[in-house]
Structure 1
Amino acid sequence: MKAFNDTRLRIIGPLILFLMGTLFFRLNWYLELPANRLLRSDLIGLSAGYLCWNLARWVVLRLQRQFPGLDNTRRRLMWMLLLMPLLVNVAWLIRQLGHVAFNDAVRITQTLPSYTYAIGIQIFYHCIYFVIYEGDYLLWAWRRTYEQNERLKKDKLKYQLNTLKTQINPHFLFNCLNSLSMLIHDNPRQAEAFVDEISTVYRYLLRANDQELTTLGNELTFIESYFQLLKTRYGAGIELRVSVDDACLDCRMPPLTLQLLVENAVKHNVTMTRRPLKIDIISQGQSLIVANNLQRKSIAVHSTKVGLNSIATKYRLLVGSEIAIREEDTRFVVTLPLLANRVETRAAL
């Protein structure tokens, strides 16, 4: 609830409830009580109304901070129900003490019917307090969840679009065909092996959009084929070192993650025989580290960060995890969470 609206509500709300209570519960006072006693009773009732409104508001806001979100609605309502007897009796006691202090009452004494009548009125008031603040919070939380879901759906569509762009990257295909053309003339046997690697790579690329997660083992098998294409083009100017525990091979990850990282490294760094680009893929506990040495190209390559953003979106969208990206003095490092073999994705929103 916005601060301005809440402040205005805290001023006007108790007054409106007091007028409602006067109309439905205390109208006989104006026919039976003398003017001075009636004035004191009204002041006591109105003051107690402001105190109880703010006490109930504090309780509801405290519960919302302690148990936030739509998922905790039942827990908050249960606590409100449990605290209701305490709050209504405190409200009743405040009014009784006010009458003792300012309205000539000798002591706090009420018959059982009068007590239950007063408690019933306080239950009615507190239900209104709870409905106002909890209802406003539920509406805000629902709207926020709806907006997040819509944002995630848009992210998913962007992710799928970026995946399709990766699958049919014309620049990558042109380079492969150019390399193949040279191999056919210089080394026909290697050209045949190169065609097999292209077939393997594109078969995996075309399947990738049909699955949300794949195993690390599958990704490593694919990246070996993909790297052979790069090796054919760059020769000794590029190196790939893989050190992954066998226990991690069944872990899950979004498909094409390694390909995007390797492609990103090649795009932004020099590949030379004397200064090879070294790409490391290493498992470390429940994480996979993909790192490369930094040797930036003299002419900076325009970066849209589509690749890294696509990976981050995949992890956030599918499993709610974040990746870590850092640039050191001599290395660029990306740390990816390794997911258990059985994991529920968040894509079906």
Structure 2
Amino acid sequence: MARILITGGLGFIGSHVAELAVAEGHQVLVFDNLSSGHRSNVSAAVRVLEADLRDAEALDSVIGAFQPDVISHQAAQASVPKSFLNPLEDAEVNVLGTLNLLESARRHGVRRIVMASTGGAIYGEVPDGTVGHVGGPERPSTPYAVSKLAAEHYLAVYSHHHGLVGSVLRYSNVYGERQSASGEAGVVAIFSQSLLRGAPLRINGRFCSGDRGCIRDYVYVGDVARANLLALAGRLAPVFDVGTGVGTDARTLAETLLSGSGMVSQIIGTEPRQGDVQRSVLDGAPLRDALGQVTPLSEGLARTFNWYRQSQETVLS
């Protein structure tokens, strides 16, 4: 059993990591500023402290008191549009906040940090017929991508010079239960809530209005949580792609969701959105090798939609 501190543990991905860690018998403490997370995302068995990564004194106090064996660093400013609107805040959270964490971990003898990063943003535009992968071209073209890549490099420095073992997980497009419908990363959540409202599903074009839309690599959050637990145990490569290797265009995503939900909705094509990467697909072999099997998109979408439907029924009851 390990003592695990999870930053951002009330958020979409972090809460799944927290719940799985508790289920596996670990002692878990969640550190979260509740900017996007919710206390209801985790069970009462999970201890939660409200604080911000940018508050170095509060962070150091928590790490000093809890004395974690390992840290799962999920907290981030993860919105690409927000990173353009306020690049300073993006860097404050993703770079300076991470440095606060690394410094405190060094001072208190934490042995390992697993950091959530982004393959989709760091690899940028991935040409047809290829996949983004560790060791391949890095094309960060947004403040968010630059800040996450900088945080990766800082972690490598602390690993090399201070003996802090670091692991980086580069996520593709993660979807699943508890994802927010706000923001460009939550397209499955947006589609699910549109279906439940009886609204049409809108597809931003890849090249023009009415085409099949941009291509993404959708990975189920349960698989992402499993990868995190393996990384916390030191069983994954230092930099690891968390993707499926399968590219799915937005229209296929919408059609698959409709088929699995039993719902009927109109699909409307709209103009391409400025700044969207047209194609983002990660190497899927590392995750398949680590997990043995990843969740098929149709199955993950069905689980996700059922969760949103049940959540709506609970609110209305």
Structure with the greater relative contact order (CA < 8 A, sep ≥ 6): 1 or 2?
Answer: 2
TM-score (norm 2): 0.21
The structure carrying a bigger strand percent of its residues is 2
TM-score (norm 1): 0.19
- Which structure has the bigger radius of gyration? 1
